[in-house]
Structure 1
Amino acid sequence: MDQDLQIDDPLFKEKGFGRRIGFGRHCALIVVDMIRGFTDPAQPLGADLKQAVLATNRLVAACRRIGAPIHFFTVGYRADLSDAGVWQRKMGGMASLLEGSDNVRLDPRLDTVDGDSIMSKKYASCFAGTDLAARLVSQGVDTVIVTGCTTSGCVRATVVDAVQSGFRPIVAPEAVGDRSGAAHRQSLLDMDAKYGDVVPLDEVIAHLSRIAQPVEA
């Protein structure tokens, strides 16, 4: 892993932070909010996340080869933002994420196919107000590989909820992105210290290539 993304505080290591959760037996891929509103830098909430999209596509391909479940997530709101709760008071840019608009569609660079699981959410975590946990349990999943955006927001929230729900979160740093480089790096350090394993993309793909799983409905 990049030295900048490793826990370098001796006190953290002494206190036992950053121990490995490791991969379980059955993985699923969660692609968080890779929608045009976030991956188009011209949009209010957008940033240039081309490299994260390309890295995610490598994971999508690896998961398809072994039949591992893939869940794509988008986020969208009514025109009056009445379904955004108090969160809409915090970020004016949420008004750019209206249901039915191009901004809430998955980035066209993503390698999606007909029949893919595409779920919609309203809040940061992919587990909040959705049936994701139930789907994962029914698919026999114990490990979730989390990609998407943003690292400091919806990715981090999803990772925290994943470990709280009994799943093993794995994050490939190349496959997540943020508007802020500093927030991206700090969030990866935070997740790796306390909530999941930050594992280089090539290592995640190498692990997937070593296992085989049946396709689950």
Structure 2
Amino acid sequence: MKCRRRLLVGLLAVLGHGIAVAQTAAPRHDAASALLVVDAQVGVLASVWQAERVTANLQKLVAKARAAGAPVIWVQHADNELKYGSDRWQLAPGFVPAASESVVHKQYNSAFARTDLDARLKSLGVSRIVLAGAATNWCIRATAYAAVDRGYQLTLVGDAHSTEPIPVPGGKDIPAEAIVTDLNTVFEWLSVPDVRTEVRTTADVAF
């Protein structure tokens, strides 16, 4: 995927071996929320699994957040495969940040890595992140873990993130759908101290 990757390891989390623990409490929705749209760029969304559906869901999420008065923060990636300022680097058609909305520029998988995202969220009083975008196994995964490590409540929008199939040794591919399902399963069941995670569909997300 266009988010720069270093290693083809840890693509699918191992389930059923004591790593994930079911949550017993319902996720909170009273926390101040922000929508984080990761890498909704021309050169990213064009090649992901079910791109049209995912793009439409991202647009619905942006509209929902704006209607609720929740902050929308856009993340835009640049690296050797996605040159800063190029056509492929631009946000995909239909995605135009409002004047009041932040745009965070990154060069690593996590949207928190060497950016001021954490400071921006804190300045807005945000304690819950609604996360969507691409690519599932690179920038969405890294950003999700970075968010919970920093103590943010996390809602992963299960039908609003995607990726490409990933080739692995032996001439096989890990299907994109399997990668999406894996991450959704992990964050539905993940156990983190003092943090609740959940997975919701676009239709069910509330701000």
- TM-score calculated relative to the size of structure 1: 0.73
Aligned equivalents of 2:112, 2:95: Cα separation in 1: 22
Q: Which residue pairs with 1:189 in the alignment?
A: 185
SS at the partner of 1:104?
coil
Q: Which residue of structure 2 lines up, in the alignment, with residue 74 of structure 1? A: 76
Query: What is the SS of the residue equivalent to 1:51?
Result: helix
Determine whether 1:32 maps to 2:38.
Answer: yes
2:134/2:140 contact within 8 Å kept: yes
Aligned to 1:97: 82
Q: Write the distance in 2 (CA, Å) between the matches of 1:47 and 1:188.
A: 15
- State whether structure 2 residue 145 is matched by structure 1 residue 160: yes
| SS state at 1:74 partner | strand
| Deviation at residue 39 of structure 1 after TM alignment | 1.2
1:47 CA displacement? 5.3
The corresponding residue for 1:92 is none
**Unaligned runs of at least 5 residues, structure 1:** 1-7, 78-94, 209-217
Q: CA deviation at 1:48?
A: 4.9
SS in 2 for 1:37: helix
From the two aligned structures, give the one with the greater strand fraction: 2
**Number of matched residues?**
176
Counterpart residue number, 1:110: 95
Give the Cα separation in 2 of the matches to 1:40 and 1:143: 29
Identity %: 27
Offset, 1:111: 4.9
Q: 1:135 to 1:112 in 2, by over 3 A?
A: closer
Unaligned runs of 5+ in 2: 1-14, 165-175
Cα–Cα, structure 1 residues 58 and 96, in superposed 2: closer, same or farther, change >3 Å? same
TM-score scaled by structure 2?
A: 0.77
Query: What are the residue-to-residue correspondences of 1:144-183 with 2, within 5 Å?
Result: 144-179=129-164, 180-183=176-179
TM-fit CA distance, 1:18: 4.3
Measured against aligned partners, the alpha-carbon deviations of 1:95-134 in whole angstroms (never above 9, x if no partner) come to: 3311111111111122533443111101111111111111
Structure 2 distance, partners of 1:135, 1:110, is 20
SS of the equivalent of 2:160 reads strand
Aligned-partner Cα distance in 2 for 1:126–1:24: 24
> Does residue 1:17 correspond to 2:2, yes or no?
no
Counterpart of 1:60 (choices 43, 59, 62) is 62
Q: Secondary structure at the match of 1:169?
A: strand
